Structure 1
Amino acid sequence: MSDTTAPAAPTRRARGGGGAARRAARTAVSVETAKYIERNVPNYEVLTEEALDVIEANAETVLADIGVNFVDNPAALERWKSVGATVEGERVRIPRGLARKLCATAPSQFTQCARNPERNVEIGGKNLVLAPVYGPPFVRDAEGGRRYATMDDFEKFVKLGYMSKWLHHSGGTVCEPTDVAVNKRHLDMLLAHMVYSDKPFMGSVTEPSRAQDSVDMCSILFGEDFVQNNTVMTSLININSPLTFDSIMMGALEVFAKNNQASIISPFIVGGAMAPVSIAGTLTQVLAEVLAGVAYSQIIRPGAPVIMGTFVTSIDMNSGAPTFGTPEASHITYGAGQLARRLGLPYRSAGSFCGS
């Protein structure tokens, strides 16, 4: 509660314990959840130190010579000017070393608080937090086969995620409930995470006002002061690769960073279509985009929690279809993990790469 809230009227104190307490304890449903994983397995270093040096030097060249676009966002352009970047139209060129310097204030590890403090997770360092899938538009069941998802499906997936011992996080858009209007479905989705699970969850990013709705709902759930001083949400901020930061995603990032909530800065790349076809070239673009996005979050609020993310797959050069489960996707994911460790940032990636 904020300090301006009037004190509650005195009430008669109820007697603690007794039969009511015992009955509540017997009927309470408690689902066991394994603690987030503290990894002791050595990291898989697919790139040499020399290769990492080349990729970072080339990423700095991209930022300084080519630049990135911050579209439909005059305030962002002014913010970049204020820290020493060169702005021409909507193109921002970031001098060598500036993005790296700005990223230095991002924490290497932070706690995401859950409604149930026993479900809090440590993000970063050697900690591994497992979360459900994000964003499927379709679901499949034995009766209906493949179909568009509904809010009922969404709630069932949240409940299943809560019941899973090995999922530490409730996730975000575990499916897209198409039976609820776009301008309000984020409210129902976030409420489902709050009501049907007590694990950490993700907020809405589909429009800046919806990001603010997420912060406001968390302020009701946790208390406004608590939210401003603790991280209770993560959010997924995708970059419109190549090198474009749109006003919707950046507007949501601005809301989350300003309110001390975490953002996953994640390029969404299909190699060969939105990035160079080579692994090294794609990693160069990934790093350039992440550096610009993380740096911008720190311009908004130094110390705001942020996670380096990447979702990269490749394209079939014959058909133009995206391919999943390829060696290239794995190599880029491993390489991006090395770059995240080099930057001292938590890292979010996919796993279980396959074509299914």
Structure 2
Amino acid sequence: MSDTIQLKSRSGGRAARVALRSAPLAEDKRPVRAGMPGGRLKVLTDAEVLRIHHAALDALEQIGLSQAPQSGIEIMTRAGAILGDDGRLRFPRALVEDMLAKAARDITLFGRDPKYDLHLSGTNVHFGTAGAAVHIVDLATNTYRDSTAQDLFDAARITHNLENVHFFQRAMVCRDVLDNLEMDLNTIYACCSGTTKHVGTSFSDPSHVAPGFDMIHRIAGGEAAWRARPFISNSNCFVVPPMKFAEESCMAMESCIRGGMPVLLLSAGQAGATAPAPIALAIVQAVAECLAGVVYVNAMAPGHPAIFGTWPFVSDLRTGAMSGGSAEQALLTAGCAQMHHFYGLPGGAAAGISDSKLPDMQAGWEQGITNVLAGLSGLNMVYEAVGMHASLLGFCLESLVLGDDILGQVMRCVRGIDVTEDSTSIEAMKAVCLDGAGHYLGSDQTLQLMQTEYIYPVLGNRMSPKEWVEADRPMLLDKAIARKNTILAKAGRQIDVDVDAAIRADYRIYFE
């Protein structure tokens, strides 16, 4: 009899919980959301942060950077950089400190829909895509094929429908578009057609920036509307590690700044190859290179929105191959986040990369570990967080869908534990242990918190083995494929029909 009573009680509690979960929550009541503050994890001590800072300043004063374009030399030397006989620009400490004082803080990266605005202040955390994968993972055949403009558009549409992927930076190269200008334009249009979240792109040639802005202004509804809410940022590899400027990228960056586009100052050395092997010294080089970018940007346009993109990668020192899913990568990214906080600058770095070729167990642990450390460290912009395989060579749409579940769990870790007077009161314990049913399943407190303090996977399976068998043994990848197909079947374009028709009349667009 007692077993029967207990089962009925549990069943009733479960029914109540299911009913409560079906009710939508207001944004501010959801257990996780974009921009939640992290920063609880510190992989560097305060003394270690200072040591890295001073080493970076030493590198800028004593080594400097070579191969700046003439326009950049003029901009930076006017501000106080010193051009040596060896052609290297060196940066006195006082100059770096002056430019840091002018640098933009607490910036907002706008979405075309204001509900997707990203507020980059403090330790607010945002996860999104990025990269330049040249392949798409085809799970129907477990093979890799060239990525296309249609794949990029589909990835943007999927991202638009994922709650825990907060922005969409170009994740793959449109390899079916052979003309480089057409490829840059199709990249912009595929991203903006797929989502109204903030978009990141890149230009392969500085001469492509002006035609790119022509298209962007049409999407925005005019240049004034664009400048009021710039919804695209330029991912700019302005340096070629170690300690060299990338001339064409610098020129493209200058044009983007003049056009009112936020920039990501991206330093992407690879520890053991184009960056030093010690993790700490790899961070030193990345910080030095990005500080040079801070000087560059603020000498040209004080206070222009720029993201401090220390983005060092890791080599497998046995082979020299990149190892983006490694523990060392997770530590590099977390350490870089601390340096961003030290300078008080909006920062971004990479996490979530998998070296695995498919969305398997290896991909799960690599994406989980690196994203958790990035989030807990309070990294403002976590790039390449979902979908990336084969050490950035491949992108998988199903992995993008699965990554939404991963990032939901990661953001729950970022949120941490709410320790308040209410959450530590023993009154609920008294009610259950002294007067109640001996469990908390149907208690008012449990029902009140089950949606606001707990997050549940969309695809992740929490069935018992018996339930799993009775449900015909559902497999995770099958569910990911089904959700991908459902999203794409319903997702439309995020561009006004008339604007879309006009742009397609004037440009060669490679996706449907």
Contact 1:36–1:121 at 8 Å: present in 2 too? Answer: no
User: What is the deviation of 1:148?
Assistant: 0.8
User: What is the deviation of 1:354?
Assistant: 4.4
Q: Which amino acid aligns with 1:243?
A: M
Q: Deviations over 1:189-235 (max 9, x none)?
A: 21122223222212332121223333332222222123334432212
Question: TM-score normalised to the size of structure 1?
Answer: 0.84
Inter-partner Cα distance in structure 2 for 1:65 and 1:266: 22
User: What is the deviation of 1:114?
Assistant: 2.1
Q: Deviations over 1:24-58 (max 9, x none)?
A: xxxxxxxx998952324443111111111111111
Number of the residue aligned with 2:115? 118
Number of the residue aligned with 1:205? 203
Distance change >3 Å, CA 343–CA 215, structure 1 → 2: farther
Structure 2 residue matching 1:68: 3-state secondary structure: coil
Contact 2:209–2:252 at 8 Å: present in 1 too? Answer: yes
Structure 2 residue matching 1:100: 3-state secondary structure: helix
Q: Give the structure with higher Rg (CA).
A: 2
Inter-partner Cα distance in structure 2 for 1:42 and 1:241: 28
Number of the residue aligned with 2:41? 44
Number of the residue aligned with 1:66? 63
* Bigger share in strand: 1
Q: Deviations over 1:304-353 (max 9, x none)?
A: 10111233232233322222332322222111111101111111122235
Inter-partner Cα distance in structure 2 for 1:59 and 1:308: 14
Contact 2:35–2:119 at 8 Å: present in 1 too? Answer: no
Q: Which amino acid aligns with 1:58?
A: A
Distance change >3 Å, CA 138–CA 118, structure 1 → 2: same
Deviates further, 43-52 or 81-90: 81-90
Percent of paired sites with the same residue: 24
Number of the residue aligned with 2:151? 153
Contact 2:272–2:320 at 8 Å: present in 1 too? Answer: no
Distance change >3 Å, CA 136–CA 334, structure 1 → 2: same
Matched ranges for 1:228-267 at <5 A: 228-238=227-237, 239-267=239-267
Inter-partner Cα distance in structure 1 for 2:351 and 2:249: 24
Q: Which has the higher relative contact order, 1 or 2, with Cα contacts under 8 A spaced 6 or more apart?
A: 2
Inter-partner Cα distance in structure 2 for 1:132 and 1:353: 10
Contact 1:36–1:127 at 8 Å: present in 2 too? Answer: no
**Match 1:91 to one of 88, 93, 96:** 88
Distance change >3 Å, CA 184–CA 38, structure 1 → 2: closer
Inter-partner Cα distance in structure 2 for 1:343 and 1:205: 28
Aligned pairs, how many? 323
Structure 2 residue matching 1:70: 3-state secondary structure: coil
Deviates further, 286-295 or 247-256: 247-256
Unaligned regions of 5+ residues in structure 2, if any? Answer: 1-25, 357-512
Inter-partner Cα distance in structure 1 for 2:206 and 2:341: 30
Distance change >3 Å, CA 267–CA 123, structure 1 → 2: same
Q: Which amino acid aligns with 2:236?
A: I
Inter-partner Cα distance in structure 2 for 1:169 and 1:42: 20
Q: Which amino acid aligns with 1:130?
A: F
Q: Which amino acid aligns with 1:199?
A: K
1:346 aligned onto 2:332:
no
Inter-partner Cα distance in structure 1 for 2:83 and 2:137: 48
Inter-partner Cα distance in structure 2 for 1:196 and 1:52: 40
Inter-partner Cα distance in structure 2 for 1:119 and 1:194: 13
* Bigger share in helix: 2
Q: Deviations over 1:250-304 (max 9, x none)?
A: 1121122223321111211111111221122111111100100121011121111
